[in-house]
Amino acid sequence: MRRYANRRDANEPALVEAARAIGFKVFYTSELGDLVVQFGDRTELWECKTATGTLTEAQCRLRQAGLKAYTIRTMDDVLEAKRRFLK
């Protein structure tokens, strides 16, 4: 599969700056976890890791900035996520 460069709209930097200035947490999707997962009306970010995989420095910075992302390593983690979605 061929990968194409992400195209950004010309007004995006100004919109992001304005949103951040009034308190929004804005992250470009290229900086996010591996998956955006939705179930019903809920959405989560998932970072898939192997049993011994660790977060990158960038992923740690995003979490320190307040981005809520779940690390998913096993099928048990997937099932736990389903329980979380159903609460």
Predicted TM-score (pTM) of the model is 0.72
pLDDT digits 0-9 by tens, 5-45: 557 778 889 998 998 999 888 888 777 888 989 898 888 99
Domain ranges of the chain: 27-86
Per-residue DSSP letter, 6? P
Cα 62 to Cα 41: distance, rounded to the nearest angstrom: 23
> Between 8 and 3, whose confidence is greater?
8
What pLDDT, on the 0 to 100 scale, is given for residue 18? 92
Alpha carbon separation from 80 to 54, 66, 74 (Å, rounded): 20, 22, 10
Cα 44 to Cα 31: distance, rounded to the nearest angstrom: 15
How many CB atoms are closer than 10 A to CB 59? 19
